[in-house]
Amino acid sequence: LAKTTQPISMDSYEGQEVNITCSHNNIATNDYITWYQQFPSQGPRFIIQGYKTKVTNEVASLFIPADRKSSTLSLPRVSLSDTAVYYCLVEGGTSYGKLTFGQGTILTVHP
């Protein structure tokens, strides 16, 4: 299984860009990288997913280098409402049926 490692917590201020990096050194060829966001008392919510290079949607960007051993979630101009836990997952054939969300990164956005 591809284990992921991400910072336990990060602090930022409103209007700044936030980059959260996730390491997944033993990612397999058919694995995808997926990021979820979770607010207190709610279920996780899908943010973005990618396989390689760069993916962008209306919420975030995901940067994946050529070796795919890490990925970076980029949140442009964060606001207080972006305070949440962010989970990086590696999903694919090797994790099938055994998918586990790690501890995630607690992002706190300050005024």
Least distance from other proteins to the Cβ atom of residue 19, Å: 21
The residue among 16 and 49 lying less far from other proteins, judged by its C-beta, is 49
Least distance from other proteins to the Cβ atom of residue 49, Å: 7
The residue among 30 and 79 lying less far from other proteins, judged by its C-beta, is 30
The residue among 16 and 38 lying less far from other proteins, judged by its C-beta, is 38
Integer-rounded Cα Rg, in Å, for the chain is: 13
105, β-bridge pairs? 86
The residue among 97 and 111 lying less far from other proteins, judged by its C-beta, is 97
Least distance from other proteins to the Cβ atom of residue 16, Å: 26
DSSP E strands in 28-93: the ranges are 32-38, 45-50, 53-56, 61-64, 70-75, 84-91
10, β-bridge pairs? 107
Binding site residues, other proteins, CB under 8 A: 30-32, 34, 36, 41-46, 49, 51, 87, 91-92, 96-104
Q: How far lies 8's CA from each of 49, 60, 86, 96, 107, in Å? A: 21, 20, 10, 25, 9
